[in-house]
A and B are shown apart, each in its own frame.
Chain A
Amino acid sequence: MKALAILLVAAALSAQVKYEDILKGPGANWITYAGGYSGQRHSSLTQISTANAGSIVPKWVYHVPKASGLRTHPLVYNGVMYITNTNRVIALDARTGRQIWEYFDPKAKKDGVNRGAAVLGDKVFFVTSDVHLVALDRRNGALLWQTKYGDPDKGQNATLAPLVVKDKVLVGNAGGDTGMRGSLVAINANTGKEDWRLYTIPAKGEPGSETWSDLHEWGGGATWLTGTYDPALNLIYWPTGNPWPDFYGGNRKGDNLYSASVLAIDADTGKMKWYFQFTPHDVHDWDAQAWPVLVDLPFRGQQRKLMLYGNRNGFYYVLDRVTGEYLHGTKLVDRVDWASGLDDRGRPVLVAGKDPTITGNVSCPGVRGATNWMSPSFNPATGLFYIMTLEQCDVYSASTKEPEPMKGFSGGGAGRNPESPGRFVLRALEPTTGKRRWEYAMSGKVDAWPGTLSTAGGVIFSADDDGHLVAFDARNGKVLWHFQTGETINTSPVTFAVDGKQYVSIASSTAIFTFGLFEPAAPVTPPVVKEVP
C-alpha cells in the first residue's frame, strides 16, 4: 500500500512561474520554447541515461483535435503540459495525458501552424494566426486579455512561440514569402500593452534603407522563430527571414538589411545593438530562421561569449555575441555551391551563375536550407553542438513579374531536383571549429523537420525522417533506442520530470507522444465512487 500512496499526487499547483525560474534553465520544468534562454536545449535531468535508454517505453499519447503537421513544443510546469495548435491551447496532465482545459478561438482568421506557448506568473501566452497575443489563466484557460500586434491585411500572420523576458512577452510575425514588413514586438505581460517595437526592415530614410532600391514596406524580414536571450548582457538575439520577393532580387538591389540576419536587441528599450547578416541580398529563400545558441567557451585561447549559428545558407558561424564580431565560419553541409566560402568578415564569397533563372537553375543547399527551425542543442559535458542538417540541392526559378504583395507571389519558386533527392544527417560538431565529430545519416523522403534535445544523462534525443523518435549516445552517436510514431515529425523533443520521474515528449504530425522508463504495472484497486443525484 505504501507504493500506492506514493502514486498519489495532489500537488497544489498554484505556484507562480517566475522570471527567475526561466533563468534556471530546464530541469523538472520546461517553461520556455528552448527550455532556457541560451537556446542550448540541454536539460539537467539524468534519470534517463545512456545506461538505461534501452528501457524507454511510451507512457501516453494525446491526439490533438484537428491537428495536421503539428509544430508545437510542449511546455511543462509543475506537472501540467501546455501544447498548442492553430488558434488553440490545451493543458494536459503531464503524467497521464488527460486534458485539463482547452482554449480555442474559432473566429481567428487565417490558418497556419503554431509553434508553442509561453508561461509567466499565472498566465500562459500564445499567438493566434491573425496576429493577436492572447493571455490565458494558466489554471483554467480563462481569457485574460488579447492584443492585436500586427495586421493580416498587410500580409502578416503569426506562428511563433512567444518569449518571456522579465515582464515582457516578445512576439514576431510570419508572412515574408508573400510580402510584408517584419517586426519584433515587446508586450507587457501584465497589461497587454505594447512596450516597444523594432522593424526588421528600415523605413525610407532610416539607416539601412539605402540597401533597398524599393519595397521597404513589403520587404519581408519575418520574425517567426523564437529568439534567445543573454540576461547578463540584457540582449535578445532574434533571427530574421528572407527578403521579398524571395527568388528575384532585381527590384530590391542592395544587401536588403536587416533580412536573413541575427539582430542583437536591448531587452528594455528594443534598440538594436548590432546585427550580423548571413546572406546579403538573398535570392534563395534562405531565412536566417535558425537558433542563435549561446555558449561561453575558450576561443583561440581566450574565454569568449559566443553565439553558434547553423544557417540555412549552408554555413556554420561562430560570432562574438557581445559585439557581433564574426569569429569563424565553415561549411555546415557538403552540398554548398552558391558561395565558395566566407571572407574574413563572414560575408559569403559568391560563385557566379547560382541565382535562380527563368528556366530554372540548380543550386545548393535546397530551399529548405542546410538546416532550419529544427532545434540544435549543446551538451556541456561532451562539449559538442548537435544539429540536424540537410544535404540537398534544388532547382530555383525566378519570375521578373512586377511584385504584388499578398497575392501568393514570391518572385519565382523552387522545386526538387530529381538528381539530388537529398537526405537528413544529424551531426555533432566541435562548437568553435565546426569540425564533425560524428554523424548519423537518415533514410526517408526528406519531408520531416526534426530537432534535437540534449540531456545531462548523456542522451541526445532527436527524430528521424521516417517518424522515429531516436535516442543517441551524445559522445559517439550510437543509437540507443528508437520508437516509430507512425507520422512525420516536424518538431523537437522536450524533457521534464513529475514526481521524480523523467519523461520525454514530442509532437508528431497529429499527436503528443510521451515516454519514460519502463516500470512494472501494479494492480489497481479502484476507489468507491459515490454519485450524488
Chain B
Amino acid sequence: MWRQTFLILTTGALLLPAAEPEKPKNPAIGNPEAIAAGQKLFGAGCAGCHGTSGEGGRGPKLRNRAVWHTLDDDGIFKTIKRGVPGADMPGSSLEDEKIWQLVAFVRSINSPAIEQNVPGSPQAGEAIFWGKGGCGNCHLIRGKGGMLGPDLSNVGGLRPVEQIREDILTPDNDGYETYRRVTAVTTSGRKIEGVLKNRTNYSLQIQDAQGNLHMVSTAGLREITLEKKSPMPKDFKSRLSREEFRDLVAFLSRQSMRPAEGGK
C-alpha cells in the first residue's frame, strides 16, 4: 500500500520535481553545412516575406529575439512545418531533414551573440567602448562604468548580434519607457532627476546618475516630465568608422556571464 504513496526526500531542493533532462539538439543545429544549406532554402522559400537575412518585411523579423516569440528548436520546426493558421504563412512540404536545416539557419541568426561568429576585434572594440564611443559613461560592464544605462555584462549572452547593432543605432525603438530621462518636481518645488526604473499612477522609482534610487509617491508630486526618447546618443554612424563600429559590436558580443555553449 505504501508503495503507492509518493517518495519524499527532504534535503535541499529535491522536494520539487527533478528538472527534466535537457533534450538532445538536432544535429543540424550549429552545424555549418546545415546552416549553409538552410540559408539557401531560406532564400528560396522564406526570404520573400522574412527578408534575405531575416530582417523581416511582410512577415516578422526573425533575427531579433526580443520582438518575436522565443520559440525553442522544436517550436520553430513545428511552425515551419505546419505554418501559422490564420496568418499568411503556409505549412512547408519539405522533408524533415530540410526543415531542420532551416531551423539551423534561423537559430544561427537569432542565437545569442556569444554563440555566433561575430567579425571584428574585441580588443579594439573594448577601447572604443571606454573611449571614443563614450559607452562606459552610462553603461556598466562587470561593475565598471556609469549607472544610467542598462548593465551590459551579459549583453552577448542574451541578445543576437543583429539586435545589439540595432540597439546602438536606433535606441528609441525598444518600445520601453524605462531608462528614459525623467524629472519629478515635488509639491515643495524640489527636483529629482534621473532615469525611470518604473512608473505607475501612484509611485515612481528613479535612479540618478550616482546610482541613488529615489522611490517617490506621486501623491507628493506636482509635475513629472518624461522624455520619450532614449538618452543614448544617435550619432554612432558618424562618430565611429565602419571598422570601429564592427569592433565595438564584436566586443559587446563577447560579454557573457557564461561561456559560450560548445566552447566557442
Given A93-B203, A143-B151, A144-B142: A10 in contact with B190 (beta carbons within 8 A): yes
Closest residue of B by beta carbon distance from A159? B13
Do B257 and A8 touch (CB < 8 A)? no
> From residue A356, how far is it (CB to closest CB) to chain B in Å?
12
Number of contact residues on A: which range applies? 35 or more
Do B187 and A5 touch (CB < 8 A)? yes
Instruction: Say yes or no: is A1 at the interface (Cβ < 8 Å to chain B).
Output: yes
- Among B177-224, those with CB < 8 Å from A are 184-188, 190, 192, 197-198, 200-203, 205, 207, 210-224
Instruction: Say yes or no: is A230 at the interface (Cβ < 8 Å to chain B).
Output: no
Instruction: Say yes or no: is B44 at the interface (Cβ < 8 Å to chain A).
Output: no
A100 to B147, CA, bound (A): 14
Instruction: Say yes or no: is B2 at the interface (Cβ < 8 Å to chain A).
Output: yes
Closest residue of A by beta carbon distance from B19? A111
Given A14-B210, A14-B212: A142 in contact with B140 (beta carbons within 8 A): yes
Q: Which residues of A contact B227 (CB under 8 A)?
A: 531-532
A159 to B18, CA, bound (A): 14
Instruction: Say yes or no: is B121 at the interface (Cβ < 8 Å to chain A).
Output: no
Q: Which residues of B contact A159 (CB under 8 A)?
A: 12-13
Instruction: Say yes or no: is B6 at the interface (Cβ < 8 Å to chain A).
Output: yes
Instruction: Say yes or no: is A401 at the interface (Cβ < 8 Å to chain B).
Output: no
A369 to B217, CA, bound (A): 46
Do A143 and B153 touch (CB < 8 A)? yes
A114 to B8, CA, bound (A): 19
Instruction: Say yes or no: is B173 at the interface (Cβ < 8 Å to chain A).
Output: no
- Among B124-159, those with CB < 8 Å from A are 140, 142-143, 147, 151, 153-154, 157-158
Do B213 and A112 touch (CB < 8 A)? no
Instruction: Say yes or no: is B1 at the interface (Cβ < 8 Å to chain A).
Output: yes
Instruction: Say yes or no: is B82 at the interface (Cβ < 8 Å to chain A).
Output: no
Instruction: Say yes or no: is B15 at the interface (Cβ < 8 Å to chain A).
Output: yes
Given A146-B257, A368-B10: A528 in contact with B222 (beta carbons within 8 A): yes
A137 to B225, CA, bound (A): 27
Instruction: Say yes or no: is A52 at the interface (Cβ < 8 Å to chain B).
Output: no
Given A93-B198, A111-B16, A415-B8: A143 in contact with B216 (beta carbons within 8 A): no
- Among A1-54, those with CB < 8 Å from B are 1, 4-14
Q: Which residues of A contact B215 (CB under 8 A)?
A: 9-11, 13, 79-80, 93, 95-96, 100
Q: Which residues of B contact A105 (CB under 8 A)?
A: 257-258
A369 to B8, CA, bound (A): 11
Do B219 and A8 touch (CB < 8 A)? yes
Given A418-B1, A529-B226: A137 in contact with B143 (beta carbons within 8 A): yes
Closest residue of A by beta carbon distance from B258? A107
Contact with B along A472-513 (1 / 0, CB 8 A): 000000000000000000000000000000000000000000
A137 to B148, CA, bound (A): 13
Do A143 and B11 touch (CB < 8 A)? no
Closest residue of B by beta carbon distance from A112? B13
Given A4-B219, A368-B10: A144 in contact with B143 (beta carbons within 8 A): yes
Given A8-B219, A10-B190: A416 in contact with B8 (beta carbons within 8 A): yes
Do B143 and A142 touch (CB < 8 A)? yes
Do B217 and A9 touch (CB < 8 A)? yes
- Among A71-128, those with CB < 8 Å from B are 79-80, 93, 95-96, 98-101, 105-108, 110-113, 122
A140 to B228, CA, bound (A): 21
Q: Which residues of A contact B140 (CB under 8 A)?
A: 137, 140, 142
Given A105-B257, A141-B151, A174-B11: A113 in contact with B229 (beta carbons within 8 A): no
A113 to B19, CA, bound (A): 11
Do B224 and A107 touch (CB < 8 A)? no
A531 to B140, CA, bound (A): 28
Do B203 and A415 touch (CB < 8 A)? no
Do A112 and B207 touch (CB < 8 A)? no
Instruction: Say yes or no: is B87 at the interface (Cβ < 8 Å to chain A).
Output: no
Closest residue of A by beta carbon distance from B260? A107
Closest residue of B by beta carbon distance from A417? B2
Binds B, one of A297-305, A336-344, A381-389, A518-526: A518-526
A287 to B15, CA, bound (A): 14
Do B16 and A415 touch (CB < 8 A)? no
Do B205 and A93 touch (CB < 8 A)? yes
> From residue B145, how far is it (CB to closest CB) to chain A in Å?
9
A59 to B174, CA, bound (A): 33
Instruction: Say yes or no: is A171 at the interface (Cβ < 8 Å to chain B).
Output: no
Instruction: Say yes or no: is A176 at the interface (Cβ < 8 Å to chain B).
Output: yes
Q: Which residues of A contact B207 (CB under 8 A)?
A: 139-140
Closest residue of B by beta carbon distance from A107? B258
A408 to B219, CA, bound (A): 55
Q: Which residues of A contact B1 (CB under 8 A)?
A: 418
A-B contact pairs, 19 of them (CB 8 A): A7-B217, A9-B217, A100-B215, A107-B258, A112-B16, A146-B257, A159-B13, A174-B11, A174-B12, A241-B12, A368-B8, A414-B9, A415-B4, A415-B8, A527-B184, A527-B185, A529-B224, A529-B225, A530-B224
Q: A178-B14, A287-B11, A289-B11 are in contact. List 10 more A-B contacts (CB 8 A).
A: A69-B16, A98-B205, A113-B15, A140-B147, A145-B142, A224-B11, A285-B10, A524-B201, A532-B226, A532-B229
* Interfacial residues, chain B to chain A (CB-CB below 8 A): 1-16, 18-19, 140, 142-143, 147, 151, 153-154, 157-158, 184-188, 190, 192, 197-198, 200-203, 205, 207, 210-229, 257-258
* Interfacial residues, chain A to chain B (CB-CB below 8 A): 1, 4-14, 68-69, 79-80, 93, 95-96, 98-101, 105-108, 110-113, 122, 129, 137, 139-146, 157, 159, 174-178, 220, 222, 224, 241-242, 246, 285, 287, 289, 360, 367-369, 372, 394-395, 397, 408, 410, 413-418, 522, 524-533
